[in-house]
Structure 1
Amino acid sequence: MKKGFTFSYLLLLLLTCGSCCAQETPSFKVDFSISGRNEKEVLEPGFKHWIIHEGKSQETTIDGVTCSVHTEDGKLVAWWNKTYVRDAANAAQNGRLSYDGLTLTSKDYGTFSICLEGLPKGKHRIQTYHNCWENPARFYATPMTVTCNGKVMHSNVVSTFGQAIAANTCILTTEFNVKKKGERICLTFTTSPENAGQAEEGKQAFKSPLCNGFELNTPEILKQAKAPYPTSGDLHADGDEKQILLQWEAANEQVKEHRLYLALSADELASLKKPTAVLPANENQYLLKDIYSMNTYFWRVDEVYTNGKVTPGLVWHFKPRQLAFPGAEGYGRFAQGGRGGIVYHVTNLSSERIPGSFLYGLLDVEGPRTIVFDVSGIIDMKFQAIFVPPYTTIAAQTAPGKGICLQHSNINIGADGICRFVRAKRGFGITGNAMGVAGTDHTIVDHCTATWGTDETVSGRGAKNVSFQYCMIAEPLGITGHTGYPAGKNHGYAATIDGKIGSWHHNLIAHSYGRNFSMGGGMDGTNTAIGQLDIFNNVVYNWCIRTTDGNAHEVNFVNNYYKMGPMSRRTTLFTQQYERAGSAWSVWRAYVSGNVRENLDGSLSPDKQGDTYAIQVSRGAKTPDYETVVDQPFYPSHASIQAAEHAYKIVLSDVGATMPIRDDQHQRIIREVLEGTYTYTGSKTGYSGQIDHEQDAGGFEEYPFMQRPEGYDSDQDGMPDWWEKLIGSNAQKANHNDDPDHDGWTLLEDYLEFLAHPYLLIPAGSQASFDAAICFKGFDKQPVFSINSQSDIFAAEIDNSLIKVNAKEKGLGKIVMKVTDAQGDSFEQTLNIAICE
């Protein structure tokens, strides 16, 4: 399997590697980090990673320089503030550097040294960072004394607190001369009770010396421009208006002018001889126009001082955001997926990590990837918990025949992931979920089906910017011998969700005992509520004892439709639960509007406090002394929102893995919701609609094996030859990452979007038909169908719901199908047309 990287992805990797070879005057940056953590979590980009293990001393070699740390006062250790490091806003600045670092295990006064050996003769500069990671409301810093080979260089140094921007931390610049090759240079940092500093009321002293990291022989940090916008490394910068206002802060008041350099690669930036713009000291912004989401922009600002000296700036980079696909909504809508990466073909149904298998494509291929399926059938995932790597698109709409079903699944979509049209069905066996987006960021799951989970069917715990849209969550299994509960416990739960912000919309939950949804409102490291959930236009049918409950810091609960079924007991749709969870200063509030409960007699109950929504105080918690339900939404939804009754019809028409076709379980669930009925009963619970084993519902249905024929995609770029001929592309040369119309989506993504809707492939001069009724099942009250198409390559007409197409000449087109029902509600879907030779 050919392995590859996108240019921007490779460059991001290189930026984290630092200098790769020894220089005449070594220059590098070092970040002291806590052990046992993921590198991406704690390593500041552009810095060398020095993981500190507890002990008296430690040594490493960087670019031919032997670097060591040691102490005679107890042991060295690295520590951190987990909350501050993990905060996305801090990480977007320099929080991975400034909120962890080297200190002493004793947490008492003492001394440690940073020593360098192997420097060439001459003048050198070391700059050390000192920002305390503790809460400034509880701690103050003890002054430090710093010596270089015994000579006092800095006195009464007080570390900063709460600085995510590196240039705003306490930075000590120490210059020294190496008189002979091999001379050992030691910086020693000391705190003592004799210089304990000024005690602050209500706070305790941070007594030990500390250091977050250092830079050797780099430009003076305090003389460099800082605080860029977009923040460096932002791959979702807001350039929706095709322009971005670049901004930064001047280094200090002695700056005379700013020289801005801008390029499309780091190498190009380094080679520029003339600045892109020269700006006066009071003008620290520049309007960048005609931006393009496929580009990664590299820039720096060199500061020119009144004395004529120039301090080169840091290299910053960003990338404009782009919708994951047309129709992507909510806070995960800018997921990048595998855009710009390789194409991986699933060519077999093996459950092993061998070339051509789905697991191999997930776990053994490097870099951004788009996974397409050349086969249909069942892939047994063997209950493995699979965490999909970042920058992956799973395009299950590409499978032939009936499509793909992941049996015994537990697949968690990773950061910047796009997952569409996947069927994840777990089934009886090892306790676990069917699928999820737990702990991820900038991720979207669209038109997927998740069923038969045995813990909960979907998990979204710890997620950040995510969208889970137009998905079906159905028939979580009830009594299955859950490993975390006593025998006989019914754990047929739909989903625990989270986000910051998490968009959970236009989903269907059916035949679920509880957690419909459970709001697993996230906490930060201080146990303060931070979760934000946007829950709208969902349909829930035939729950039992629990609907949507739990809590989060801020929740929009808007225009959801809850339809009682034969096992529904609870009538409250939304319950904010206060259970002594979180810190005393946590706030949990909700905006509730437009939700509807359909009762067993068919009547509708609108939002009403004490009926459809309520608060619940338990476990010794105090009743909140603040307003728990507010009258305005907390944030925009970035999505189309319909009235609950209208959304009910749309969801039942267009939810779940609809492509390449709707499977039997899908069609049954939709019918049961529409009719308010059920087909199967739990073999252990006896509940109507909730099953305890997939065999209660007949087991896994058949998905016949089909395989694309030889030569279907000659250049293996994910686009079949017939498609490439239609668009005038070269079917013998992989060009999936081209974007000739400059719309930000690649040729491959254009093809994937074609397959995301019903379509007809018709030979020129032939006829074909399509029954639109399958796409509008939710509109069952006197539906009237119509079409709109303006095309020279085909003619189309409609008779009731049957669309007839007469193909004239080869090319691509589309028909907009529309339904309008007796209540005046309407909905449109696309029927794509491809006319081949």
Structure 2
Amino acid sequence: MGRRLGIGFGAAVAAGLLAVSPALGLSLKAAPAPAVTAPLAFPGAQGWAATTPGGRGGRIIKVTTLASEGPGSFREALEAKGPRIIVFEVGGVIDLDRKTLKVDEPFVTIAGQTAPSPGITLIRGGMDVSAHDVVMQHIRIRSGDAGQPKKSGWEEDSFSTQGAAYNIIVDHCTLSWATDENLSVSGPRFTGKTPDEWRAGTSRKITYSNNIIAESLAYSTHAKIEHSKGSLIHDNVSDLLIIGNLYAHNYERNALFKGGVRAVFANNLIFDPGQRALHYNLQAEEWGDHDYQVGKITAVGNALRAGISTPDQLAFFELGGYGDVEYYGRDNIAVDRIGRPLPQLGRYTTSPARIIETKTPPTWPQGLSLMPATEVQKSVLHNAGARPWDRDYDDVRLLADVAEGRGTIIDSQDAIHGYPHPKMTYRTFNDADWNLGDMTPKRPEVLDSGAKAKGT
């Protein structure tokens, strides 16, 4: 369906561009490339986590069942100890039955690109990562309300880091229908006595690249009721790169950076936000007597388009709460539904907190390369999300709606059509087909688009 709508990748694109890389057009060089000291996690990886080895050099663990747990399951592979590369001999839906996947063991690569068509989709649950050196590509997580009553307290992120997780890359994944946030960075606010210790004690060195972050549920099962949120970046998180992603139909937090965060937000497409797009907010009630830390946010080369759910009064970047933020914003496009410019800056606080505009980026990873904002929409619609060469129905539907300015914020996955139920498929994993150091395919046809997968 993606190819018929002109959004999915054909074989020629898969052969030339994809190779499981970010596929960003690097026409605007923002910084010189550093000397190579370690191999990249995969071709095109960027940010402070770019050289994480993940599970490189570890044993290959094959997922051979769509069961939520037990022998051959994805959960069992995640819980295994030691460096490991997780590959998939099955394709279809894994129903987590409201049992969150926990990743506590470090040095793991999750290679969703190895699954037979239609790939791997997790439903009725999400994933929390508290380990370090984790690379995940080409997985769909569609948490949904899991059939729970409204305001029941089922509050599930599709994906989030926890604790002091570091060296994490989530690339080319689809994260949607969460009842909390779709893709977040969490951890303790204050570990230790000094700001440096706070930053070392929470999540850090993270790259979220080329993902679809969309349709978080509004009036659903969260105890606070309205909770359609894209990404929540918790206090004192540092060395975070969010690049090349699609944020669509999330009421707020596209993304929200809390107190003291140090992050770069670049080449993302935001469509149909509710009352907030990007925002920064240090909440005094949460900081107590701790000294406020100045946030450091760089936003470059992004594009924002209003949609049906977007109010008339919206700015690209807004300040709330009580803490100052150093902000570098350049080459960001923000327009309403008919292309008229929206304000670049706004605020939703009467406190003395300041947006301190800087002439140079207050934080920036070495070697980061970007494209102009005018190229972002085309690139993101072609490249973002799980398995662009083999998109599922919901990604095709969403991307077509973004292209045409359709769709709204939703309250339940049932407002669309409910959870997906594809037939299970099977294909033997052949390690000779893959470059095991970065899990890129040796030939384009290795990326299964359904022609060879066997239904069972």
TM range (shorter): 0.7 to 0.9
In the comparison of the two structures, how many residue pairs are matched?
375
**Alignment pair present for 1:676 and 2:405:** yes
**Residues 514-547 of structure 1 deviation map (CA, whole Å, 9 limit, x = unaligned):** 11111123xxxxxxx3x20101111111111121
Q: Which residue of 1 aligns with 2:199?
A: none
Cα shift at 1:761: 6.2
**Residues 681-735 of structure 1 deviation map (CA, whole Å, 9 limit, x = unaligned):** xxxxxxxx111111110012232211125xx54xxxxx05xx38xxxxxxxxxxx
In the aligned structure 2, how far is the partner of 1:623 from the partner of 1:350? 50
**Alignment pair present for 1:760 and 2:445:** yes
1:408–1:434: 8 Å Cα contact kept in structure 2?
A: no
In the aligned structure 1, how far is the partner of 2:339 from the partner of 2:296? 32
In the aligned structure 2, how far is the partner of 1:438 from the partner of 1:574? 26
**Alignment pair present for 1:493 and 2:212:** no
Matches within 5 A, 1:621-640: 621-624=351-354, 628-637=356-365, 638-640=367-369
**Alignment pair present for 1:544 and 2:270:** no
Distance verdict in 2 for CA 1:406–1:623, change over 3 Å = closer
Q: Which residue of 1 aligns with 2:242?
A: 504
Q: Which residue of 1 aligns with 2:290?
A: none
In the aligned structure 2, how far is the partner of 1:566 from the partner of 1:328? 34
**Alignment pair present for 1:560 and 2:302:** yes
Distance verdict in 2 for CA 1:406–1:502, change over 3 Å = same
Distance verdict in 2 for CA 1:356–1:482, change over 3 Å = same
Cα shift at 1:496: 0.5
Cα shift at 1:659: 5.0
2:263–2:363: 8 Å Cα contact kept in structure 1?
A: no
In the aligned structure 2, how far is the partner of 1:541 from the partner of 1:339? 36
| Residue in structure 2 matching 1:397, options 113, 124, 136 | 113
In the aligned structure 2, how far is the partner of 1:417 from the partner of 1:325? 12
**Residues 101-143 of structure 1 deviation map (CA, whole Å, 9 limit, x = unaligned):** xxxxxxxxxxxxxxxxxxxxxxxxxxxxxxxxxxxxxxxxxxx
In the aligned structure 2, how far is the partner of 1:760 from the partner of 1:615? 50
Cα shift at 1:651: 0.8
**Alignment pair present for 1:520 and 2:258:** yes
**Alignment pair present for 1:588 and 2:325:** yes
Structure 2 counterpart of 1:754, one-letter code? P
Matches within 5 A, 1:730-769: 747-749=435-437, 752-754=439-441, 759-760=444-445
Q: Which residue of 2 aligns with 1:368?
A: 83
Q: Which residue of 2 aligns with 1:451?
A: 176
Q: Which has the higher contact order (CA 8 A, sep 6+)?
A: 2
1:401–1:660: 8 Å Cα contact kept in structure 2?
A: no
In the aligned structure 1, how far is the partner of 2:93 from the partner of 2:372? 38
2:111–2:137: 8 Å Cα contact kept in structure 1?
A: yes
Cα shift at 1:591: 0.8
Q: Which residue of 1 aligns with 2:63?
A: 346
SS in 1 for 2:82: coil
Gaps of 5+ in 2: 1-32, 147-153, 188-202, 282-293, 450-456
Distance verdict in 2 for CA 1:241–1:593, change over 3 Å = closer
**Alignment pair present for 1:535 and 2:265:** yes
| Residue in structure 2 matching 1:614, options 346, 365, 371 | 346
In the aligned structure 2, how far is the partner of 1:669 from the partner of 1:697? 10
Q: Which residue of 1 aligns with 2:426?
A: 707
Cα shift at 1:358: 0.6
2:262–2:363: 8 Å Cα contact kept in structure 1?
A: no
1:346–1:361: 8 Å Cα contact kept in structure 2?
A: yes
In the aligned structure 2, how far is the partner of 1:467 from the partner of 1:501? 9
2:159–2:183: 8 Å Cα contact kept in structure 1?
A: yes
Cα shift at 1:510: 0.7
Structure 1 counterpart of 2:107, one-letter code? Y
Structure 2 counterpart of 1:631, one-letter code? K
| Residue in structure 1 matching 2:138, options 421, 430, 441 | 421
SS in 2 for 1:566: coil
**Residues 321-341 of structure 1 deviation map (CA, whole Å, 9 limit, x = unaligned):** 331111101122112110111
| Residue in structure 2 matching 1:436, options 160, 173, 178 | 160
Cα shift at 1:567: 1.3
In the aligned structure 1, how far is the partner of 2:331 from the partner of 2:309? 24
**Residues 773-831 of structure 1 deviation map (CA, whole Å, 9 limit, x = unaligned):** xxxxxxxxxxxxxxxxxxxxxxxxxxxxxxxxxxxxxxxxxxxxxxxxxxxxxxxxxxx
In the aligned structure 1, how far is the partner of 2:81 from the partner of 2:144? 30
Cα shift at 1:623: 4.2
Cα shift at 1:664: 0.7
Structure 1 counterpart of 2:227, one-letter code? H
In the aligned structure 2, how far is the partner of 1:651 from the partner of 1:404? 21
Matches within 5 A, 1:250-261: none
**Residues 283-328 of structure 1 deviation map (CA, whole Å, 9 limit, x = unaligned):** xxxxxxxxxxxxxxxxxxxxxxxxxxxxxxxxxxxxx533111110
| Residue in structure 1 matching 2:316, options 560, 573, 578 | 573
Q: Which residue of 1 aligns with 2:124?
A: 408
In the aligned structure 1, how far is the partner of 2:54 from the partner of 2:395? 26
1:368–1:390: 8 Å Cα contact kept in structure 2?
A: yes
**Alignment pair present for 1:655 and 2:417:** no
Q: Which residue of 2 aligns with 1:22?
A: none
SS in 2 for 1:555: strand
662-671 or 406-415, larger mean C-alpha shift: 406-415
Give % identity.
29
1:401–1:704: 8 Å Cα contact kept in structure 2?
A: no
TM-score (norm 2): 0.77
Cα shift at 1:428: 0.6
Larger radius of gyration: 1
TM-score (norm 1): 0.43
In the aligned structure 2, how far is the partner of 1:411 from the partner of 1:565? 29
In the aligned structure 1, how far is the partner of 2:98 from the partner of 2:42? 30
2:280–2:325: 8 Å Cα contact kept in structure 1?
A: no
**Alignment pair present for 1:477 and 2:217:** yes
Distance verdict in 2 for CA 1:451–1:533, change over 3 Å = same
**Residues 574-630 of structure 1 deviation map (CA, whole Å, 9 limit, x = unaligned):** 012232x6xxxxx5211111111122113445xxxxx22134434xx4344xx7111
In the aligned structure 1, how far is the partner of 2:301 from the partner of 2:348? 22
SS in 1 for 2:436: helix
| Residue in structure 2 matching 1:599, options 317, 336, 360 | 336
Structure 1 counterpart of 2:301, one-letter code? N
SS in 2 for 1:617: coil
1:397–1:659: 8 Å Cα contact kept in structure 2?
A: no
Matches within 5 A, 1:324-343: 324-343=41-60
In the aligned structure 2, how far is the partner of 1:399 from the partner of 1:543? 33
1:405–1:703: 8 Å Cα contact kept in structure 2?
A: no
